[in-house]
Amino acid sequence: MAAAVADFRPVRAAGEKLHRRGGVPDVVLEATPDILAGLVARRRRGQTLVGLAAEWGEAAAGARSKLEAKGVDLVVANDVSAPGVGFDHDTNAVVIVSGTGMELNVGPTDKRPSLGP
């Protein structure tokens, strides 16, 4: 399951451009649907569910927390605050955590697809 595009969204969208002369608008947010939780609730026998997590700081700890909270089989997490990986970089590094206690660090690895030999 891909990471959420956003955990929150505006309650009300502006119907037109917001002008400065109207002052700074109040933006009220609401939670977006938790798609992964919905899939876990409808899990079929034998189905494996994998969640993704963009973490700031300890990716493994965040992955373990998400694994328990969501009830998935695996979580693949990356520390987007780590130097040289994550957003705005050509490389990434992840940690894969399972419900059985397995923890596997992968990378740093080039994000660009390989065209093969």
- Report pLDDT for 75: 93
- Report pLDDT for 22: 85
Q: Is residue 24 part of a domain?
A: no
Question: Nearest CA to 36 among 80, 87, 72, 90?
Answer: 72
- Report pLDDT for 3: 54
Q: Is residue 10 part of a domain?
A: no
- Report pLDDT for 98: 94
Cα distance between residue 93 and residue 80, in whole Å: 9
Cα distance between residue 112 and residue 10, in whole Å: 34
Close Cβ partners of 71 (under 8 Å, ≥ 6 residues apart)? 40
Q: Is residue 87 part of a domain?
A: yes
| Domain hosting residue 106, numbered range | 34-110
pLDDT, block means (10 residues), the chain with 117 residues: 72 90 92 88 93 88 91 90 81 90 88 72
Q: Is residue 57 part of a domain?
A: yes
pTM: 0.75
Q: Is residue 63 part of a domain?
A: yes
The count of domains in the chain is 1
